[in-house]
Structure 1
């Protein structure tokens, strides 16, 4: 499940494993009925998906991987595909300066590289009992030796299933995790999606005052810049037991494989002294993980239910003061985000942002905590929401007035147009043209919406990688962006852009924003008949009167995508089809 769920990070659209006896054993362990297990086996053998049947399968490309070569790894910083062996922390420049960090700690200060968040989280890896049991066993050994979590580490445990509580309690390991601060906070998406909650105000203020390099270590799925917490400058992905180990270490300057976690009776304790063996893990899983635990959780959840017979209206009663769900503006002709008020022309577009490579959906529309100084925070305050109830951007995605303010709200964004004192400045910033004034992104969007100014985004390679976040496409479209020209697009995000009526265009090889010398003062037109994969003309008008024309590839890759785009997006296309069907039926 972990490998399949992470397939976008290694460039795949989907990942599958063959079905074998181990698959059936897992189904039995997790409480599936015998008839269902038998059906899975019969289906797999009949369709050729059983492991033995696939031995003769032929593949376009085969990669061989020696499982015996696997060692402990982190991923990061800031990218889930950046593998970081724990044996290479010093040579990669992560585990350096520990003596200085420990000196700061002795002075009562947060150390350099402080792990401010250590979270066992994720719907993916907590679904594997071995991962969670391993964390519990490591915690048990640490507790027995008197090791403790560093006081500045905010620790939490958010398994994806309530079953984890049952088998950890059965094994006597939940209390061991709780003793180190890893009590269960929810059975839901938390830190991985930027919902770790607030830091201790004293710790947060010290990070701000000292501009401290602080980090997060989590067993989540993704760790892009700015995703986990606004004050965690970088984040590392780790297995659940490694998360516990970093809570003991307290800083990423610690060489987790070699440095000493503590001294007990004159004996130096290192990670190898705490790490459980496969045999220890398997013994606990065999003794404590049982099918009836899964049935106890899931059978009531999916059991038949009868309503109370109360009649309700099929139409939602929109509440104007709600900041969580609001009538969407996709057919509106007035108001903020009214798409019908601004038909696309693909002419005279000004850049909203000029961006480097590897822009993620977390840059485009973060999902994490809302800061009071952000545009969304200021809006929520005006709506009467106290700061402690701001919640996260992700929870407000049903309200476009909040979610629009998340567009490019990532503090780690580097917009090459936001030049301050001769250099591009990080933050939710852009430059409004032709005024030449650098301002916060939301104020710039408001300015352009008032002017009914069509917009364009220019970007580097791998634009839109990461989570398939709908608001990463919705936000730019409602801001008035009509086209995005990039060196390359992540596949899911490209599809989402088309679904919102934004035209994805790709530079030809060797052509980039840098080779063209773009600085944001230009205006842009796109001309040509939009058909799958054709060349369209990008016309660049410079302020000195010069006009440059160049071919770009239309990334509407299928005839269906062309129809969706021309309709204005997937909702508009659905509405057209629905109304046409009703007309024919009449």
Structure 2
């Protein structure tokens, strides 16, 4: 029917999806396997969410960026347990935020665990549509439609929520997050008290001796859709670079710097403002328009620097304007990583170490030997706003995006829709989900949910980066050794993220994070960190891949036991694919991140949740047990986890089946997304052949 309008949500599978929440459009993040379910003809279903109202009051203090606000909000909302909820921001504080600021907040939605993070449509929305080159009639239509249907912010002031949280924007200080989780906010003024910003004198002495300082920042990256989609953040970085250049400051030589905006528009307005050259002078030239460092693709470090980090066992770090800094994500040799605003990233590149008080200590000296501190470089809000107002223009957006949508695709040569698989490829290989023999064959094997042995017993906050790392592949890793056998030189190993089309490489990345803590990997009475587990019933601690390989040869079904917030982070298919190809049939945890749970179901892995008050610790689980799961699998029903201890004792533990809908039960019982599709397709073919 033409001439009618109706609200339509958008679903997507990456961090960009919740961006549109800033415009008053519900953007719902789903798992990649859930999206494949829809592509194969089935519906995407979810339970009715909790709607949480977040009243924003006050206004930000001078010099506070949207990054500071979102890091504070992420910590606050994690504490308030909004996992799976839809959030609506409202109040006078929300009204005062630009669309760019709102986009920064909405984009971090997965990091505080919510499904959507909506701002209401108001004049800021209309101004943004004009700024980005929308046709006047389209802008007028949006405004008329929102006001007519009661979707305009003024009409929603009386909206009622079952739960309302309050957050004062005026309380936000300049902040970072780290050193390993986006919700671990650290006010920069408190770094010294927290023991991170200590030993600057020692660091300076090491530098004078020609050594890399402990706490060295080896990667400083302005990156991620979270921050580079906000012109205020990017312009602030450019202005800080300009002031630093004028004073003769330079980045430290061991810092690998980069700038990867999500859109080519950033280049245009920075060039207009004369700031791109200033960033390039400090090493922040544009390297790509895509996910780079924030997704573990920072590239290789200088070999000499990497060698010194290893030889001296240095505490090396990364500072980036990304949205995720999970253990081991950014680079294997950056032991930890901190999230920061783009201008702070530039400041840390100049300082070269996190072992300083960034608010008070000198970042360097000017040409006259005068110490320069952060306050000497930090741009004023008026400076930032003036450049945004004069240099960010509609024609820039039209110049970048109009050709994308107007491209003429006529005349493209038609080719076969079937991919010509290359058997020896390490990037894309025919997947094994239908195979009954070979590596990964257990994914096509009927699950029994009996006699399962633990592959890992894990603590709280296990992320998808622990399950399936994104970063660089090292030569001494299982994946690196495999690639070497395939004839690739080490300089061509690339990252785990780029090899996810090859299951033989990606399976070797399962639990391959060097920062993994598996409570089964006990050596000399202590848990050893790394990609390790204990092979059972042998009792031998070994590298995770060798244990997986052994279990595959034995056709041993596996289970994973975990703590709270299992699977937070990117909605990464391979965090679910890897465990299923390894033979994992079930995961029992204290709680799951929503998207990872749906991805597990899409691979035929059963998610089970301990009852409140019951944990792996209260049950005394150490990984030497075998496990069965009994009971009829229905949405959120109670099942029984039967634990057979090595000494012969048997525990019967009630758990919640986290198949939340009938559709999820259907997919799981079939064996996963592809198996469900195959069964439906064959049933349809059979019915058609039998039809008169």
TM-score (normalizing by structure 1): 0.98
Q: Which residue of 2 aligns with 1:140?
A: 242
Following superposition, the deviation at residue 262 of structure 1 comes to 2.5
* Cα distance in 2 for residues equivalent to 1:21 and 1:480: 53
Say yes or no: does 1:279 pair with 2:372: no
* Cα distance in 2 for residues equivalent to 1:483 and 1:531: 15
> 1:331 touches 1:339 (CA, 8 Å); kept in 2?
no
Following superposition, the deviation at residue 69 of structure 1 comes to 2.4
* Cα distance in 1 for residues equivalent to 2:166 and 2:405: 41
> 1:226 touches 1:232 (CA, 8 Å); kept in 2?
yes
Bigger Cα displacement from structure 2, 236-245 vs 430-439: 430-439
> 2:442 touches 2:582 (CA, 8 Å); kept in 1?
no
Indicate which of 313, 328, 349 corresponds to 2:431: 328
Say yes or no: does 1:14 pair with 2:116: yes
3-state DSSP of counterpart to 2:436: coil
Q: Which residue of 2 aligns with 1:252?
A: 354
Q: Which residue of 2 aligns with 1:303?
A: 406
Following superposition, the deviation at residue 83 of structure 1 comes to 1.1
Q: Which residue of 2 aligns with 1:493?
A: 596
Bigger Cα displacement from structure 2, 218-227 vs 392-401: 392-401
Following superposition, the deviation at residue 71 of structure 1 comes to 2.1
3-state DSSP of counterpart to 2:541: strand
Q: Which residue of 2 aligns with 1:292?
A: 395
**Aligned length, in residue pairs:** 586
3-state DSSP of counterpart to 1:74: strand
Following superposition, the deviation at residue 309 of structure 1 comes to 4.7
Indicate which of 177, 185, 191 corresponds to 2:287: 185
* Cα distance in 2 for residues equivalent to 1:575 and 1:2: 41
Indicate which of 206, 210, 219 corresponds to 1:104: 206
Bigger Cα displacement from structure 2, 425-434 vs 22-31: 22-31
Q: Which residue of 2 aligns with 1:395?
A: 498
> 2:351 touches 2:364 (CA, 8 Å); kept in 1?
no
Q: Deviations over 1:79-99 (max 9, x none)?
A: 001111111111222111212
Following superposition, the deviation at residue 279 of structure 1 comes to 0.8
Indicate which of 166, 171, 174 corresponds to 1:64: 166
Q: Which residue of 2 aligns with 1:547?
A: 650
* Cα distance in 2 for residues equivalent to 1:349 and 1:425: 24
Q: Which residue of 1 aligns with 2:541?
A: 438
Following superposition, the deviation at residue 70 of structure 1 comes to 2.2
Q: Deviations over 1:488-508 (max 9, x none)?
A: 111111111111111111112
3-state DSSP of counterpart to 1:414: coil
Say yes or no: does 1:407 pair with 2:507: no
Indicate which of 530, 536, 556 corresponds to 2:633: 530
Say yes or no: does 1:156 pair with 2:258: yes
Bigger Cα displacement from structure 2, 384-393 vs 33-42: 33-42
* Cα distance in 2 for residues equivalent to 1:485 and 1:340: 19
3-state DSSP of counterpart to 2:519: strand
> 1:347 touches 1:526 (CA, 8 Å); kept in 2?
yes
* Cα distance in 2 for residues equivalent to 1:386 and 1:308: 40
> 2:426 touches 2:505 (CA, 8 Å); kept in 1?
yes
3-state DSSP of counterpart to 2:119: coil
Q: Which residue of 2 aligns with 1:124?
A: 226
Bigger Cα displacement from structure 2, 425-434 vs 258-267: 258-267
Computed over aligned residues only, the root mean square deviation of the Cα atoms, in angstroms, reads 1.3
Bigger Cα displacement from structure 2, 120-129 vs 64-73: 64-73
Following superposition, the deviation at residue 341 of structure 1 comes to 5.2
3-state DSSP of counterpart to 1:196: coil
Indicate which of 549, 560, 582 corresponds to 2:685: 582
> 1:329 touches 1:339 (CA, 8 Å); kept in 2?
no
Following superposition, the deviation at residue 216 of structure 1 comes to 0.4
> 1:342 touches 1:452 (CA, 8 Å); kept in 2?
no
